[in-house]
Amino acid sequence: MRLSRYFLPILKEAPKEAEIVSHRLMLRAGMIRQQNAGIYTFLPLGLKVLKKIEEIVREEQNRSGAVELLMPTMQSADLWRESGRYDAYGKEMLRIVDRHERDMLFGPTAEEVVTDVFRTYVRSYRDLPLNLYNIQWKFRDEVRPRFGLMRGREFLMKDAYSFDVDQEGAIRAYYKMFVAYLRTYKRLGLTAIPMRADTGPIGGKLSHEFIILASTGESAVFCDKELLDLPVPGADVDFDGDLSPVVDSFTSRYAATDEMHDEAAFNALPAERRVAARGIEVGHIFSFGTKYSEPMGAKVAMADGVEKPVIMGSYGIGVSRLIGAIIEASHDDAGIIWPDSVAPFGVGIINLRPGEPAVEAACDTLYGALVAAGKDPLLDDTDARPGAKFASMDLIGLPWQIIVGPKGLADGVVELKRRATGEKQLLSLEAALARVTEKA
RNA sequence: CGGGGCAUAGCGCAGUCUGGUAGCGCACCUGCUUUGGGAGCAGGGGGUCGCAAGUUCGAAUCUUGCUGCCCCGACCA
Q: In the Cβ-directed half-sphere of A268, how many Cα atoms lie within 13 Å?
A: 8
CA of A179 to C1' of B13 (A): 50
**Position A218 confidence tier, pLDDT thresholds 50, 70, 90:** confident
CA distances from A433 to A32, A80, A366, A369, A428 (A): 31, 56, 7, 8, 9
CA A383 to chain centre: 35
CA of A387 to C1' of B41 (A): 20
CA of A146 to C1' of B71 (A): 9
Indicate whether this model's pTM tops 0.80.
Answer: yes
Between CA A419 and CA A421 the distance in angstroms is: 6
State the amino acid at position A321 in one-letter form: R
Starting at the edge strand that comes first in sequence, how are the strands of the sheet with A377-380 ordered? Answer: A377-380, A347-351, A400-404, A414-418, A424-427
Residue nearest to nucleotide B12 (CA to C1'): A13
Give pLDDT, residue A299.
97
Positions of chain B reached by protein Cβ under 7 A: 1-2, 6, 11-13, 25-27, 34-39, 68-77
DSSP structure string for A239-289: TTS--HHHHHHHHTS-EEEGGG--HHHHHTS-GGGEEEEEEEEEEEEEEEE
Residue nearest to nucleotide B73 (CA to C1'): A144
A21-75 per-position pLDDT tens digit: 999 999 999 999 998 899 999 999 999 999 999 999 999 999 999 999 999 999 9
Neighbours of A263 (CB within 10 A): 9
A28-40 per-position pLDDT tens digit: 999 999 988 999 9
Which nucleotide is nearest to A409 if distance is taken from CA to C1'?
B36
A90-149 per-position pLDDT tens digit: 888 999 999 999 999 999 999 999 999 999 999 999 999 999 999 999 999 988 898 899
Give pLDDT, residue A202.
52
CA of A20 to C1' of B28 (A): 29
